[in-house]
Amino acid sequence: MEIKEKIDAWFEHFHAHPEISYQEVKTTEKLTEILSEMGVSYRTFDDVTGVVAEIGEGEEIIAIRADIDALWQEVDGVFKANHSCGHDANIAMVLGALSYLKDEQLDGKIRFIFQPAEEQGNGAVAMVKRGVIDDVSYLFGVHLRPIEEMPYGKVSPVIHHGAAAFLEGKITGVDAHGARPHQGKNVVDPLFAIHQFIKTLYFSPYEAYSAKMTKIQAGGNNVNIIPGTATFAIDTRAQSNAVLDELMKKIEEGITSIGQLYGVEIELEWNDYTPAAEVSEEAVKIATDAILAVVGEEDYAPPVITAGSDDFHFYTIHRPALKAAMLGIGADLQPGLHHPKMTFNKEALDIGARVLAETLRTAFRNRYE
C-alpha cells in the first residue's frame, strides 16, 4: 500500500474511533500496533495515555508532536466524542511523515510525540513532566486551518496562537419570594453587572484581546422566586501572554468589587489556561524552506495569526531554550474548527505529511543564526 493510502486509512480509523482527553486508550493501542508493524521503537506510560516513538541515530534529537484526543460535544442531538478539531488528521499526517522518513539515513534522532489531552489544556505539560522533550533541540507541530484562513493546498510555516483562560464563578445571594425582593439578594443583578463590566475593559487598540460571558445559570422552574445562587463562565483571550495576564487581573478585581457592591459572595476559579505561541524564528525558517521545497512558492502561505489556542505552546513555556513552531495546513476546512459537522479536503493530509517530513530533514541540514 502506498504511503498516501496508508495516511488516508489511518485517518479514517482514528476519525471513526474518537476518544476524549486522557481516555485515549484504544487510540494509544492502535498507535502502538501501527508502530510495531513499521518496526519503529516506542514507549508508552503507566499512568497516562499517549505514545512516544523514535527513529534515527545520533546525539541531536528533533521532535514532532501530534495531539490525539477528541472533543465531547453534541452531534445530531447526541453527546459523544467527536474529532471536530482535526486531531485525527494530525495523527495521520505525523504517522505519514514517519513513514516517509523511517528508512532514510538521518543525521540524528527524530522523536514522534503522540500527545493526549490537548483539548483539556494540560496534555503537553504531562509530556514535559515525563521528560519527553528534555533533550530536544527543535519541536514542530501541525494543525489544519479553517478555509477563511487558508485554502486547500496552501501551507504556512507557523501558527501564532493566542493565549486563553476560562473563568468559572459562583454567586451566592439570598433566595426570596418574588413579591418580597427586599428580603433577598437577587444574583441576577450581579450577573448582569459582570456582563456589562467586562465590556468596559480596554487595552491598546494594537493588541488583540476579548472577554465574553459564555455561560449563565440562575433560578429554577418557578418564576416567582428571587434566585439566591448562580454560576457563570467567562472566556478570555489575548494575542500575547502579557495582555492576557493583565486582562485576567482586571476581571478578578472588577468582579470582586461587584460582589461587594451587591453584598453577595462570588467564588472564582481560573481553568484551562493556555499560553500564546512563543515562536522560534529559526524553526520558522526551517519550515519555510521545507514548504518551498515540497509545494513551491505558489502554495506557500504567510504566518497565521489566530485567537485560537493550543497547549503545544506549554512546551516552550516550560523549556524556553526549545526552538518550536507549529505548521498550518490549508484543507478547505469548513464550517470551522470545533463545529460538530466539520469537514475538509482529505487530499491535504499527504501534503501535510510530506511537508512535515521535509521540515524534519531540513532541521538536521540547516542552521540559522
Measured distance CA(13)–CA(339) in Å, rounded: 20
Per-residue pLDDT tens digits for 87-130:
999 999 999 999 999 999 999 999 999 999 999 889 999 999 99
The predicted model gives 46-61 an average pLDDT of 96
Mean pLDDT of 318-338: 97
Output the pLDDT for position 307: 84
Query: Could you tell me where the beta strands, DSSP code E, fall in 129-226?
Result: 136-146, 155-156, 159-161, 163-172, 176-177, 209-218, 225-226
pLDDT for the residue 367: 57
Residue with cell 467564588: 267
* Percent of all residues in the chain with a pLDDT value above 90, rounded to a whole number: 95
CATH C-level class of 163-274: alpha beta
The span from the first CA to the last CA of the chain, in angstroms, equals 41
E strand map for the chain: 41-43, 51-56, 61-67, 71-75, 78-82, 109-115, 136-146, 155-156, 159-161, 163-172, 176-177, 209-218, 225-226, 229-238, 265-274, 304-306, 323-333
Residue 348 to residue 153: CA distance in whole angstroms: 6
Distance CA 51, CA 242 (A): 33
The mean pLDDT of the chain is 96
Reduced to 3 states (helix: H, G, I; strand: E, B; else coil), residue 86 is coil
- Report the pLDDT averaged over residues 149-177: 96
* Residue pair 258/210 in contact by the 8 Å Cβ criterion: no
Distance from C-alpha of 236 to C-alpha of 83, rounded to nearest angstrom: 24
- Please report the pLDDT score of residue 51 as a whole number: 98
Domain range annotation of the chain: 3-162+277-365, 163-274
- Chain centroid to Cα 281, Å, comes to 21
Q: In whole angstroms, what is the distance from residue 211 CA to residue 217 CA?
A: 18
Q: Is the pLDDT of residue 366 over 80?
A: no
Kindly tell me if the per-residue pLDDT of 147 is higher than 80: yes
Q: How confident is the model at residue 308 (pLDDT cuts 50, 70, 90)?
A: confident
Say which CATH architecture domain 3-162+277-365 belongs to: 3-Layer(aba) Sandwich (3.40)
Give the pLDDT score at 41: 97
pLDDT in tens, 252-291: 999 999 999 999 999 999 988 889 999 999 999 999 999 9
pLDDT surpassing 80 at residue 369 = no
